Structure 1
Amino acid sequence: MKDLTSIQTKIYEIRGQRVMLDFDLAELYQVETRSLKQAVRRNIERFPEDFMFRLTKDESNYLINIGKSQNVIPPDYNIGSTELFAFTEMGVAMLSSVLRSKTAIQANIVIMRAFVAMRNYLLSPSVPSAELDELRRRVLALERGIEDTNAAINDLSEDNRQEFDDVYMALAALAEKKKETSERPVIGYKKN
């Protein structure tokens, strides 16, 4: 049986709900995906929309493309004309009444623990608030750094303005000097 962490990586957020997909569940229950779907279809009244929903073609294609590129979905997986089923936590619990093998029961227990662990993590006040505090500290540090950088740029701009003023003054002084030197008599040999 897989550990909680590996199962948690198979829990996706789709339509604002945490769900597991049919092929992942079939793998965990050690049954074929088609068998799992067949059992669900035979007992469809046990799976209302808040327990299980079918992904649209666009959602399926997006998940398949992203999943294959990240090695989440097996490269040989082909949806073909079938549709993907997404099971919420309650839907996964309901699967245990549809799939009755020992493996399915054990897998269901571990999956339910994974959902609960994930929910507890997300609802835990200490972890997110500590992470938020760390993010706030980093943002404040960045803001201070930006303020320091802007101040340095302003100081540099003021220094540059002063240097440009000095250069213009020097150029003006040189231009005046050139006028004075051009009015002097030429000294040296005369050319015939």
Structure 2
Amino acid sequence: MPVLIDEEENIAHAPDQDGICRRIILLREKKVLLDTDLAGLYEVSTKRFNEQVKRNLGRFPADFMFQRNADEYAVLRSQFATLKQGQHRKYLPYAFTEHGAIMAAMLMNSPRAISISVHVVRAFVQLRALAAPPVHPAKRPIGFVTPEDRTASP
């Protein structure tokens, strides 16, 4: 039986679209969300989120998810002035592409995750639209008449 989603309830509890866009970073020439950000959006702990991912690694090919290397993580950690006790990670973070984020939502299998995945996809689409060059309509040759032009004439 399909799960019905209360659109008004999900909009009320949905994160800000721009907030999701700000969490998307460019890493290895791919736009990705980190595991901590996805876990926060899906309202689960990062540990539980990564456990689910590790149990289902077959669902995440290299173009859906990859683990950051030590150098990439060192750059990320250097951006924070201080870390509180117990706030550092034992393991390197995972990075999820748009498709990986959708797959992760399927693993979480909750109404919240389903709702958030829609917003995540919209954020990736919004960023793609901003990065795309403007589309200009093709110029028609002089004297070229389309069927629509013929019906519009009196």
Question: Taking structure 1 as the reference length, what is the TM-score of the superposition?
Answer: 0.59
Considering only aligned residues, what root-mean-square deviation do their CA atoms show, in Å? Answer: 1.6
Instruction: Give the gaps of 5 or more residues in structure 2.
Output: 1-13, 136-154
Residue number among 30, 34, 37 corresponding to 2:50 in the alignment: 37
* 2:75 aligned with 1:65: no
1:26 maps to 39
* 2:128 aligned with 1:115: no
1:125 maps to 134
1:50-72 residue CA offsets vs partner (Å, 9 max, x unmatched): 10000011111211222x25xxx
1:79-111 residue CA offsets vs partner (Å, 9 max, x unmatched): 1x2110000111011112211111111111111
C-alpha distance in 2, partners of 1:90/1:39?
16
Select the structure with the greater relative contact order (CA < 8 A; seq sep ≥ 6): 2
C-alpha distance in 1, partners of 2:108/2:38?
11
Q: Percent identity?
A: 35
Structure label with greater radius of gyration: 1
C-alpha distance in 1, partners of 2:97/2:83?
24
Q: Work out the number of aligned pairs and report it.
A: 120
Counterparts of 1:108-187 in structure 2, within 5 Å, are: 108-125=117-134
C-alpha distance in 1, partners of 2:77/2:93?
10
Q: CA deviation at 1:75?
A: 4.8
Q: CA deviation at 1:124?
A: 4.2
C-alpha distance in 2, partners of 1:98/1:124?
35
Question: Taking structure 2 as the reference length, what is the TM-score of the superposition?
Answer: 0.73
SS at structure 2 position matched to 1:9: helix
Structure 1 residue runs of 4+, over 4 Å off? none
The letter for the 2-side match of 1:117 is Q
SS at structure 1 position matched to 2:66: strand
Higher share in helix: 1
Q: CA deviation at 1:2?
A: 1.1
